[in-house]
């Protein structure tokens, strides 16, 4: 375990820890994989304990080479900001990505016949394992948590919402989806109807509040599909709010989470406030 103290402007020090968490998941073919994943933890040194938990899940690249480059540091700025609410913020590097490595258990099949539910279940199972591990800590709350994610991680947050895990109060979905191919087929991801069916299914069981944030110029999904996914989720019984974020320069709306925090932070602050989490 490594410890790093990072100064946050006019705030307490932000502590970064690196831990390993054992997980067990299965791919779309049912093959089980057991290994440890690397998890970066952020919390403010002077925040009161027991600290609530927040798991922030990363996205997925269109290539294996891109997946190998996924890093906690890509999400560090957002994690530090979220730590300002008193959270222990966990950024897992899931199986098949970055320093964790391992097989690509989140491969969902060919473009026209994507099998999405099992791969999001694999990501959700890893999230639950992280929450269970963190709840063993003396400084961690056992009954207060939020799940959050960007792109593939955003859809994973809604997967968790459909499972209604004990002690999780809400879920935040940034640009969530799968099968995006912005370079060759902008606004036209693989199997979008299957994603709609998945989100509709989630809405039938999800009972926690959710927040959906998508930029108007997201080249992965375009402006219409995310609205359809959300409406299917809500019509089926899911609880949530959808916000269209302003466009990001250079058609980079899918990366609004890292490139335009000024657009989403007010919405997230408001949402967390409704759950009882406020900036320290």
CA–CA dist 170, 146 (Å, integer): 5
- Whether 246 shows a pLDDT value over 90: the answer reads yes
How far is the C-alpha of 126 from the C-alpha of 173, rounded, in Å?
17
pLDDT at residue 9 in the model: 42
Q: What's the pTM value of the predicted model, to 2 decimals? A: 0.95
Do residues 93 and 99 touch, judged by C-beta distance below 8 A?
yes
| CA angle (203 as vertex; 34, 277 as ends), nearest 5 | 75
Task: Quick: pLDDT tens for 184-243.
Answer: 999 999 999 999 999 999 999 999 999 999 999 999 999 999 999 999 999 999 999 999
24-37 pLDDT per residue, tens: 999 999 999 999 99
pLDDT interval class at 11 (50, 70, 90): low
Q: Name the one residue in this structure whose structure tokens are 């935040």.
A: 172
Instruction: Please give the average per-residue pLDDT across 71-98, as a whole number.
Output: 98
pLDDT tens figures, 128-175: 999 999 999 999 999 999 999 999 999 999 999 999 999 999 999 999
Query: Cβ neighbours of residue 29 under 8 Å, at least 6 residues apart?
Result: none
Nearest partner of 59 among 177, 143, 234, 172, judged by Cα:
177
Query: What distances in angstroms separate CA 145 from CA 121, 168, 214, 218, one per listed residue?
Result: 19, 5, 23, 28
Q: Dihedral (C-alpha) 17, 126, 99, 40: value to the nearest 10 degrees? A: -20
1 confidence band (pLDDT: 50, 70, 90): very low
List the domains of the chain with CATH numbers: 3-274 (3.40.50.1820)
């Amino acid at each position: 375990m490594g410890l790093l103290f990072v100064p946050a402007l006019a705030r307490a020090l932000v502590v970064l820890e690196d831990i390993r968490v054992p997980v067990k998941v299965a791919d779309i073919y049912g093959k089980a994989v057991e290994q440890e994943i690397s998890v970066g933890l952020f919390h403010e040194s002077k925040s009161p304990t027991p600290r609530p938990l927040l798991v922030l899940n990363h996205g997925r690249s269109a290539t294996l080479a891109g997946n190998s480059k996924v890093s906690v540091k890509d999400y560090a700025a957002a994690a530090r900001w979220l730590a300002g609410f008193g959270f222990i913020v966990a950024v897992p590097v899931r199986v098949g990505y970055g320093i964790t490595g391992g097989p690509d258990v989140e491969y969902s099949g060919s473009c026209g016949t994507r099998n999405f539910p099992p791969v999001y279940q694999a990501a959700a199972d890893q999230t639950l394992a992280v929450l269970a591990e963190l709840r063993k800590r003396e400084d961690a709350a056992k009954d207060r948590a939020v799940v959050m994610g960007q792109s593939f991680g955003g859809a994973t947050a809604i997967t968790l919402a459909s499972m209604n895990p004990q002690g999780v109060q809400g879920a935040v979905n940034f640009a969530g989806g799968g099968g995006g191919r912005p370079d060759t087929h902008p606004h036209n991801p693989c199997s979008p109807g299957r994603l709609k069916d998945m989100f509709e299914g989630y809405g039938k069981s999800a009972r926690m509040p959710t927040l959906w944030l998508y930029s108007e110029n997201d080249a992965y999904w375009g402006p219409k599909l995310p609205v359809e996914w959300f409406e299917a989720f809500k019509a089926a019984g899911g609880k949530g709010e959808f916000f269209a974020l302003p466009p990001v320069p250079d058609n980079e709306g899918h990366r609004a989470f890292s490139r335009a925090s000024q657009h989403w932070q007010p919405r997230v602050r408001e949402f967390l406030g409704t759950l009882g989490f406020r900036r320290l």
